[in-house]
Amino acid sequence: MVMHAVLSYIGRVEISPKTDLLHHELLNFMLIIMSTQLLSGPSPRPNDVHPFIDATMSENGIEILPPYPINNDILQTWNLMDSYGTEFPPYLATKHSLRMLIVSFSYTLLSEENQLGVLKRAGSATANIVLLPLSYFVNSSVEASRSQLADSSINILLILIHYRKCILVESVKNINASVTSESLLKDETYFAENPYCKALENVKDVEFDRVDIEGNAHSGPLVRLAFASLFDTLGMCLADETAVLLLYALVHGNSDFLEYVLVRTDIDTLLMPLLETLYDASRRTSNQIYMVLIILLILSQDASFNASIHKLILPSVPWYQERLLHQTSLGSLMVIILIRTVKYNMSKMRDFCLHTNCLAALANVAPHVHRLSSYASQCLVSLFDMLSRKYAKLAELKNDKMQINDRELKDDDKLPEDTVVLYPICCLFVDQSAEFHISTDFLRIVLEILNAILTYALPRNPEVIYAIMHRQEVFQPFRNHPRFNELLENIFSVLDFFNSRMNAQKLDGEWSVEKVLQVINTNCRFYRGDGMKMFTQLRFTYEQESHPEEFFIPYVWQLLISRSGFRFNPNHGSSHDTKIDALWLHT
């Protein structure tokens, strides 16, 4: 009854200066009553009790509500009900609530009533007012409260789409209750369908309304939204983590929106704030960096995306401080930032998953590289140099450990049985051994990236050839290495060809960068790739973990608690092992 009343008001009453405060308080109320998740731990279990969230998820007993009459672009994108008395399927109640949440996220920005310019509209519409300087353009308390409403709405939406109701299967109910291991529960339980998640996955672009009217059938809730407006709004909000999470949910779960993003010619609207987030990695959370990299990996799976980012030229990149980047392609900037993220991760975070995602995105882009900038090319070779030095240190350490173990086996003097000083060393050796194999794989991926550029895009990338020639000594130690020699054959084949062409030149004076590039450009046209081995293109795809809720539920609540203004005390309440379960929030 409570949730029926709350959703009835949210879905029926127009957002206006007289009602927006109550809308805001009702969303705050929903946030608080949904916080029962804080007592349950990151992995949903059959005995979890979330009565209010379950009532929100229920498709039964919620009446169909008439749309509130707001005349603006965002509401015109929805497939509204024709009349108040028409019968509709039960899912439309959930659809209507979802509409309210997305509408309030974009309400002020997309309103026709506000014609005071992009800066003011952006300042009053961002989900968490992350564009603080622009708030000076907001001169009314009503618009400020609408920004808070958008903030609360996106928070509730994230909770709803990531909620999972765990249900014990019938065949397990009669088993001895002592069987409670989490691994067993995961195998013998299932998650009920989430109607909000389903609705978000089925969001359609309003521009294709006619196609759907002509007979395309849709299974599940169907909502309509102006993808163009949503695309632009997200581009203004991606400095905020909640907007990044929403973008991830859309590009991963909604194939229509992903396709729309990939065909946009101004993909820099989304890509630039994402790359800037990676550039400021030291001031971002590891989860935010991880989500941005996943989005880039999903986008890089498309060949047209990889080709288009190299055709889009950026006049400047004002937030990049290491050097001036003028007339740099978006693709070159993406390569630079991904490599920079790998280097930052190696020195600070040491997260192998982040390494893998960065290199996977680079590998997807590599065959489509076009006119990679000199700086990006230098960064690519520098990345190989850095990883090769890391590999050499780990290989040396591994050989030292093996020699030590051999000497110990030959030693007749045995240690006392209670001696345990070598146990940490053995553990360290195991960890270093795993790190050594991972480092080997990373080095191979970088070599495959260079191979893909030289094999499929050599004539279009003279700067890459120059960078390899300039640092060709870094490849020499691995020329006969059994793990890398086949990949280095192509690199040395290219080096031999262009070195011989340079040696054949009669030069007056010393070589300069311009003269070397001139020789490379001239001979690129004559390079036929004789002796080059064709390797299968690396193509990485993103697959979500089997239990993504274990990551997303804690992450969403961690974000909401840090910015909601409410103080939650998970130690209060009746829950088994509450103090232990509450620790997931800080993990």
Give the residue with greater pLDDT, 404 vs 338: 338
Q: What is the pLDDT of residue 532?
A: 82
d(CA 198, CA 254): 9
- Give the residue among 330, 324, 424, 321 at the shortest CA–CA distance from 368: 330
Phi, psi of 191 (to 5 degrees): -100, 130
Give residue 101's pLDDT band: very low, low, confident or very high (50, 70, 90). low
pTM tops 0.85: no
77 three-state secondary structure: coil
- Whether residue 284 is predicted with pLDDT greater than 70 in this model: the reply is yes
- Give the residue among 527, 517, 515 at the shortest CA–CA distance from 459: 527
Q: What is the pLDDT of residue 291?
A: 96
Give the residue with greater pLDDT, 222 vs 17: 17
Report which listed range, 80-94, 350-364, 500-514, is most confident.
Answer: 350-364
Count CA within 13 A, CB hemisphere, residue 487: 23
Give residue 188's pLDDT band: very low, low, confident or very high (50, 70, 90). confident
d(CA 146, CA 136): 15
Give the residue with greater pLDDT, 128 vs 261: 261
Over range 474-499, report the average pLDDT: 92
Phi, psi of 337 (to 5 degrees): -70, -40
Work out the mean pLDDT of the chain and round it to a whole number.
Answer: 75
What tokens does 511 get?
């070589």
Q: What is the pLDDT of residue 357?
A: 93
Q: What is the pLDDT of residue 228?
A: 86
Range of lowest pLDDT (14-18, 277-281, 342-346, 413-417):
413-417
The answer to whether the CB of 225 falls within 8 A of the CB of 78 is yes
Over range 83-110, report the average pLDDT: 42
Q: What is the pLDDT of residue 368?
A: 95
d(CA 199, CA 219): 10
- Whether residue 171 is predicted with pLDDT greater than 50 in this model: the reply is no
pLDDT, tens only, 450-463? 999 999 999 999 99
Q: What is the pLDDT of residue 135?
A: 26
Q: What is the pLDDT of residue 537?
A: 83
Q: What is the pLDDT of residue 584?
A: 41
The answer to whether the CB of 188 falls within 8 A of the CB of 172 is yes
- Which uninterrupted H or E stretch holds 315? strand 313-316
Give residue 420's pLDDT band: very low, low, confident or very high (50, 70, 90). very low
- Give the residue among 425, 335, 424 at the shortest CA–CA distance from 381: 335
- Give the residue among 374, 381, 378 at the shortest CA–CA distance from 474: 381
Q: At what angle do helices 255-263 and 227-237 cross, to 10 degrees?
A: 80
d(CA 309, CA 268): 8
- Whether residue 536 is predicted with pLDDT greater than 60 in this model: the reply is yes
Q: What is the pLDDT of residue 353?
A: 85
Contacts of 143 (CB under 8 A, 6+ apart): 108, 114, 124
Over range 299-310, report the average pLDDT: 96
Q: What is the pLDDT of residue 571?
A: 61
